[in-house]
Amino acid sequence: MSIKRIAIFGSTGSVGTQALEVIAANPTLFSVEILTAQNNENLLIQQALQFNPNCVVIGNEKKYETVKQALASTDIKVFAGEKALEEAAAMDCYDMMLAAIVGYAGLKPTLQAIESGKPIALANKETLVVAGEIVMRRAVEKRIPIIPVDSEHSAIFQCLVGESRNKIEKIVLTASGGPFRGKKPNFLVNVKRDHALQHPNWTMGAKISIDSATLMNKGLEMIEAKWLFNLSPEQIQVVIHPQSIIHSMVVFEDGSIKAQMGLPDMKLPIQYAMAFPYRIPNDFPRYNFKKPETLTFEEPDLKTFRNLAMAIDVMNRGGNLPCILNAANEIAVFAFLQNRIGFLDITELIERTINKISFIEKPTLQELFDSDGEARTFAASLIEL
């Protein structure tokens, strides 16, 4: 395996920082060519000084001078703004993009990387939730591999290696159930920000932690899986697996089930995606079969966790609805993290937005951009100032 030059879009988030740990542990296999962040200029500067990339991009233009001055003694090029993210994605200095920008903001740079012929290690599920049909069609046309980084989709991807001629009956996405598994609405009405951020098994960023607490994350993963693996909604099932040891499963038409297992550690799917098609050694903790725990499964509670039910409905209806769902969810989660709305208000805000924005059955990319903007504006209007 020759050295692979990585561009990390979203380097200061949870996935980005763990990817840099993997790279630091494997300096003969990976180098860092591009680092981007939206607001965390201090960590971006620290990362740049450690890994010496070709260039960095700070999304918030107000922080450009701070980053530029801090890196003035280096040869690192510094850019700023949303357009600069797309321009960096179009550069020829890297071999693979790790798409780890949180939310809708990751869509345009990922599309640009595909147009530039760059393989994608995809940690940004919202890219496929918003525009999965367009993104995957273009990737197929350009013959660009998209290798999932989400633990569940990485598990499905790993189970399918060598199975291209065998028909999938269904896939089973596992979910821990989040911090409120088994709770009812009368408990959830009093949930506060800090409680919702305490995921039982995974260490993640704030946005995905809240999505996991509401089970919206699993709904977004279902939509992502539909496009990644070219499945019908009926072929995608979610089960609650509190131990998070089995990361997902594939059921083949003969009834055989393949599962990918391991301790919950995002560095493993990150490393797998960046090194694919090779597996490389590491010192990550291993599951101890001498002290096995009972692995259990249960159905998700769709009546209490209505976000998952909404996402399933949106996946079935298609069109621009997943885009609207995602936009409203991003606004709602941000408001909850600021203590401006309650935990159960997240669901109501999303539902009202879906019912308000006009449905488009076969949206163009521009119509998806417009739907995103309309949904965000309407959702924000529902939040009391």
What is the per-residue pLDDT across 179-190, written as a single tens digit (0 to 9) for each? 899 999 889 888
Q: Does position 215 have pLDDT exceeding 90, yes or no?
A: yes
Question: Could you please report the per-residue DSSP string of 150-188?
Answer: SHHHHHHHHHHTT-TTS-EEEEEEEE---TTTT--HHHH
In this predicted structure, what is the pLDDT of residue 92?
A: 95
Compare 256 and 205 and report the one with higher pLDDT.
Answer: 256
In this predicted structure, what is the pLDDT of residue 39?
A: 93
Mean per-residue pLDDT, 314-318: 96
In this predicted structure, what is the pLDDT of residue 293?
A: 84
Mean per-residue pLDDT, 125-151: 94
In this predicted structure, what is the pLDDT of residue 202?
A: 63
Reduced to 3 states (helix: H, G, I; strand: E, B; else coil), residue 52 is: coil
Q: Does position 55 have pLDDT exceeding 80, yes or no?
A: yes
Mean per-residue pLDDT, 150-155: 96
What is the pLDDT confidence band of residue 105, given thresholds at 50, 70 and 90? Answer: confident
The two beta strands, 120-122 and 55-58, are unpaired
In this predicted structure, what is the pLDDT of residue 168?
A: 97
Annotated domain spans of the chain: 4-148, 153-263+285-303, 318-385
Mean per-residue pLDDT, 40-55: 97
What is the separation of C-alpha 333 from the centre of its chain, rounded to a whole number of angstroms? 15
Mean per-residue pLDDT, 96-111: 91
Q: Does position 40 have pLDDT exceeding 70, yes or no?
A: yes
Mean per-residue pLDDT, 19-45: 97
What is the separation of C-alpha 293 from the centre of its chain, rounded to a whole number of angstroms? 28
Cβ distance 15 to 265 under 8 Å? Answer: no
Which residues does residue 96 pair with via DSSP β-bridges, in sequence order? 6
Mean per-residue pLDDT, 270-282: 96
What is the separation of C-alpha 142 from the centre of its chain, rounded to a whole number of angstroms? 22
Could you report the per-residue pLDDT of 352-382, keeping only the tens digit for each? Answer: 999 999 999 999 999 999 999 999 999 999 9
Could you report the per-residue pLDDT of 230-267, keeping only the tens digit for each? Answer: 999 999 999 999 999 999 999 999 999 999 999 999 99
Q: Which of 359, 105, 131 is nearest to 223 (CA)?
A: 131
What is the pLDDT confidence band of residue 2, given thresholds at 50, 70 and 90? Answer: confident
What is the pLDDT confidence band of residue 203, given thresholds at 50, 70 and 90? Answer: low
Distance in angstroms (rounded) separating the CA atoms of residues 336 and 307: 15
Mean per-residue pLDDT, 93-120: 94
Q: Which fold has domain 318-385?
A: Rna Polymerase Sigma Factor; Chain: A (1.10.1740)
Q: Does position 103 have pLDDT exceeding 90, yes or no?
A: no
Mean per-residue pLDDT, 34-59: 97
Compare 204 and 244 and report the one with higher pLDDT.
Answer: 244
> Which pTM value belongs to this model?
0.92
In this predicted structure, what is the pLDDT of residue 385?
A: 47
Q: Does position 69 have pLDDT exceeding 60, yes or no?
A: yes
CATH number of 4-148: 3.40.50.720
Q: Does position 115 have pLDDT exceeding 60, yes or no?
A: yes
Which residues does residue 79 pair with via DSSP β-bridges, in sequence order? 57
Distance in angstroms (rounded) separating the CA atoms of residues 17 and 12: 6
In this predicted structure, what is the pLDDT of residue 208?
A: 84
Q: Which of 38, 76, 31, 43 is nearest to 58 (CA)?
A: 38
